[in-house]
Amino acid sequence: MSLTLYGFDGSPYVRTVKMLLKEKNAEFDQLQINVMKGEPHHPDHLVRHAFGKVPVIEHDGFRVIETSAIMAYLDEVLPGVSLTPDNARDRARANMAQAIYDSYGYGSMASVFGYYLFPDFIGGQNDESRLKGIQGSKLVLTEIMKLKGSDPYIAGKSLSVGDLYLAPACAYLAMTPDADEVFAVTGFETWWASIQSLPSFKTTPPQ
């Protein structure tokens, strides 16, 4: 079996995939395609992902792009713990978390953590966009924590792809002075504590 992950450790989406690979105890190679250096837009990577994004995976010669497709594929083909809930409602909760993050979460959260951590990459420090990002991020966390309800994880009693989606961007937010404000959401604190204790989280720090 050969498995290659294309994408650098600074990318939240790459970390989501890497956390799944760690949860599965999978062996893989990683090519550190660096977003900060514009490497996803180099011709050799555009062959893999025509839209110039990471992550991409190649599994025994089969290429998959887009994190949602990668997560579903790897969860199905790799042995080990399943990260897809075993019933329709919990699967819907995980899928909702994933879609909310993709559609409304990543952009809002990146405009907050990017402001402090990667200002050049997001086109400079813009306070209006940061403040809008704080509100957007809070709404996203609020709605995802409502999906979690009183369960320990977003889609129920077990860790799922929904949790792995949200965790890396929260890790970046946690490094900013806006963390307390963004994280002041019912249910977030206990969820975040359990995510931070996962070996798959601890062994995939952004670099």
Ligand X SMILES: N[C@@H](CCC(=O)N[C@@H](CS)C(=O)NCC(=O)O)C(=O)O
Task: Name the site residues for ligand X (rule: CB under 6 A).
Answer: 11-13, 35, 40, 52-54, 66-68
CB of 18 to ligand X, least distance (A): 12
Backbone angles phi, psi at 58, to 5 degrees: -125, 120
- Other beta carbons within 10 Å of 81: 12
Compare residues 10 and 187 and give the one whose CB is closer to ligand X. 10
**Sign of torsion over alpha carbons 34, 35, 41, 45:** positive
CA 21 vs. chain centroid, Å, equals 13
CB of 145 to ligand X, least distance (A): 22
Compare residues 13 and 191 and give the one whose CB is closer to ligand X. 13
Compare residues 137 and 156 and give the one whose CB is closer to ligand X. 137
- Residue pointed to by tokens 């990471």: 54
CB of 105 to ligand X, least distance (A): 12
CB of 62 to ligand X, least distance (A): 17
- Give the largest CA-CA distance in the chain: 48
Query: Is there a cis peptide before residue 55, judged by omega within 30 degrees of 0?
Result: yes
Compare residues 52 and 58 and give the one whose CB is closer to ligand X. 52
- Residue pointed to by tokens 């504590």: 193
Compare residues 5 and 156 and give the one whose CB is closer to ligand X. 5
CB of 106 to ligand X, least distance (A): 7
Residue pair 28/70 in contact (Cβ under 8 Å)? The answer is: no
